[in-house]
Structure 1
């Protein structure tokens, strides 16, 4: 056992497949290295304490809104037979909450990694996802697993709900992704219900949009592997049109996409459930990324991040991890 250990995870962005993924169409999500969560655990003389932006004090006194995190910590303490161990858990997160960036999953991943490092026990990816799911089931009820899979990955994730969850080939050494926070909380339940109602009430117009979003994700996978950033940009813009027709965009998100494209973005779209949250834009190079970022801030974005892809780890053709049931 160490005196001090850390665990890290990342924000997740859905690049392609919002909403269509609910209907078992493929989605592509990526970890955002510049937006991370770091959990640090260390021994202290007495007590079991946690420090995060939502709570500061004894773990036993954590409020109901943090029940998922509390349950995960309790499970990990029991797993390692450390009920009497005195420790301090500090969580530093750069992720904004309720923006579709997977804040709760990233927190869970970081906590699990910190505990396993602290007790010097090897952690497999399957174990990691299974343990993170303890928190996610409490926080989100019926999580797809996409958030945890992406927050723990070093490559894009190819995801088909209840079927496939694997890391995929990726090769975009010069491009960057700009993420802009609209400042509006995402409305996941409302957006998912809206799309569902549209499919029931107007299937002739809504179902083709869901089908096309799935086909876009399939095309994007090939573009990612073949360094076709121009095609990726076009696919992003087409996705935005489809999502807007499904009713999950809004004036702010539409405006941000247009601003990005007016400032040399190869394409732009909302990410996540929509009705708020973030917009992403693909830039050909760092110079364009900076210009897009500045323009989006001037247009009202509360925060922007630039994710370069040059340091992403590429697939080597080895066997991928399968979905943890």
Structure 2
């Protein structure tokens, strides 16, 4: 296990370096620079001082070397170009907890409801219950997030005035965004769990348990759920990263001060350092979540052994 984890960490570092390099080069390949509009009306010498301060007067390869040196040696992402004096690390510390809370609630809600619906649909195959669950799953996949968010706002804030439309502060502000973000997860896990449970219930050991008179609850909990969860765990990593960092639309619509909202703003402002810092943060989260998923495989099913030599 230890050898496997260390090996995966090595792969993670290489992957992260590739992501950083590609992102850096793509950002600098776009014509123009983030200080163009800010320094447009400034005297030439002051303009040069601004460019020198942020290293934008150097070739991209030199800027890349400085950025990597600062990142590796000090863990420093640099200072925001749009908001002088505000470091990228401080911005991440400020906005990440908001996205983490919102994403965590959405993931938990999506897992609980999605897995439950999938199991119910599987044990009621080809009945009206199964058809309703699959209809919900299809709607969850097909319905765009911005449409769902607009419908939630209209229903619960405009028409009935039960919840706040936008903003952040109390638990009420998290309800609508959480529902909007969790709908896709509910749909995904409902479909995955239905297929997985149908595959498991046809196995010989399940038929034997039924013949022994094992109750339906015990059958689901002790025999079906544990084995049916394995395929569902596969998509847990991307779901974690996606809900944490990919809620750009949801956070923008509900005016939530999170990573997604700030990332969109950074792109619009062409804030190089802020874009790099948040991209590295998202990539690290995604890669680590994949490692956690691999470890969970061995926890859920002891038959699976993580062997560094075999992989």
TM-score band, normalised by shorter chain? under 0.3
Instruction: Flag the structure with higher helix content.
Output: 2
Query: TM-score, normalised on structure 1?
Result: 0.25
Between the two structures, name the one with larger relative contact order (CA 8 Å, sep ≥ 6). Answer: 2
Query: TM-score, normalised on structure 2?
Result: 0.26
